[in-house]
Structure 1
Amino acid sequence: MRLRNSFILAFLILVSCDVASSRNAEMEVLPYFDLKGFIDQKLAELPDSVQMAKSSRINWEEALTSKRMSREDIRKELEVFYEADINSPSFAQSYDTEVVKRYLIHKLKPEEKGRLQEMIITYTDDEVSGIQIKMKKDNTFYTSTTIAEIYFSGVSQKIDHYNVETTQKILLMDPNNIRYSGSIKQ
């Protein structure tokens, strides 16, 4: 009896591993540009800390600074790009993809729901030179639109600079506009 239970347990483990690996195989070939993986790779190429020229603006009041930032600090500033990653099974058929000249474009289909509206990847000499995203969240009481861009050096292919701008509008209130940018001093 004990031997039979061991065989059943081993069989169940093998079957569950097989089901999990088949789910992973479905997403092995990503349907869209691997934004999260690409940003991770570009962050890993940076030194532990870099000198940054930073700008922030909240409702038209701007501040300029220069400071050292770690990779983790920069990752936090680029969080919107991680939020824009659409390589999950739930979005597998949600976006139209087209290539126009040197642009790879993922655009949300009209009948689909998703926060990312559009992602444009710009290529120069077969290397990614820029990524632009447009995100929108909308309901009866609240609207939020974010436009973010990140650019890469044509020489080193490393992160060069980025801009993130968000406009939020709550029903019966004035809109808030927040913009921040960073440029790595080379």
Structure 2
Amino acid sequence: MKYFYFIILFLLMFISCVETNRSVQETENIYFPLKDYIEELALNLDGKVLLKEVIVNGEKEEIIDTLSSENWLRELDFFIQADINKPSLAAAYETQKNDRELIHQLKKNEKGRVKKIVVNYSGGEVKDITFISGSSNLFYSTQTTGIIYNQGQGGEIENYVVETTQKVVFLKPNKMSITGYVK
């Protein structure tokens, strides 16, 4: 009889663990899965050429390179970092959705680095994704805006733009712009 109680206790503990894992998994996918989306794009970009223009405080540099999917992940890391599918942010955003767009906006009194994500659709496919992120305190502020454009059937990436402004009190702002084209 004492084994019977032990088995019942074990089963109850097992069931509670399964329910906990299921609820965590459900909260991770309540917003657009930006990280997963970028990872899938990177796999399809393996071996493609990147034409990139980087402008930092007016200084311009152009780069042409053929990237592996791993390097594409590093290149598109700004977008991966903008993913808001985290259990701690499960209730932090308001979502608006219609046939053409999906918007996740940080609620008024919530704290989060990513302020807004907008996903535009055409014919059921993602056409572009925009994010706005930023943070500030008494001495420092930063804002980053990124947009990734897709083309044609299959939604392959066409180009992306990331612009960042950093401001330290009493100093001129640092501005950086990265524009990348996939060839």
Structure-2-length-normalised TM-score: 0.88
Change (3 A) 1:170 1:163: same
Taking a change above 3 Å as real, the CA distance of residues 63 and 91 of structure 1, as seen in their structure-2 partners, is: same
1:45 CA drift (Å): 2.1
Q: CA deviation at 1:60?
A: 1.2
Instruction: Supply the distance in 1 between the matched residues of 2:114 and 2:133 (Cα, whole angstroms).
Output: 4
> The residue matched to 1:38 in structure 2 has which SS?
helix
Verify: 1:142 aligned to 2:140, yes or no. Answer: yes
| Equivalence for 1:81 | 79
Give the percent of matched residue pairs that are identical in Structure 1 and Structure 2: 33
Which amino acid is 2:25 matched to? Answer: E
Q: Secondary structure at the match of 1:119?
A: strand
* 1:113 paired residue among 101, 107, 111: 111
- Match for residue 176 of structure 2? 178
**What is the match of residue 35 of structure 1?**
34
Could you tell me how far apart the structure 2 residues matched to 1:21 and 1:130 are? 37
Residue equivalent to 1:56 = 54
- Aligned twin of 1:21: 18
* Structure 1 CA distance for aligned equivalents of residues 33 and 48 of structure 2: 25
Structure 1 stretches of 4+ with a deviation exceeding 6 A read: none
Determine helix, strand or coil for the equivalent of 2:166: strand
Total equivalences in the alignment: 179
Task: Report what 2:162 is aligned to.
Answer: 164
CA drift at 1:101:
5.2
> Separation in 1 of the partners of 2:15 and 2:35?
27
Q: Deviation of residue 33 (structure 1)? A: 0.8
Query: What is the deviation of 1:19?
Result: 4.0
Which deviates more, 126-135 or 27-36? 27-36
Could you report, residue by residue, the CA deviation over 1:111-168 in whole angstroms, capped at 9, with x for unpaired residues?
A: 1110000000010100011100000111111100000011112233112211111100
SS in 1 for 2:152: coil
Does the C-alpha gap of structure 1 residues 18 and 46 become closer, same or farther in structure 2, counting only changes over 3 Å?
farther
| Aligned residue identity for 1:38 | Y
Distance 1:20 1:83, change over 3 A: farther
One-letter amino acid matched to 1:170: V
Q: How far apart are residue 27 of structure 1 and its match?
A: 3.7
Partner SS for 2:39? helix
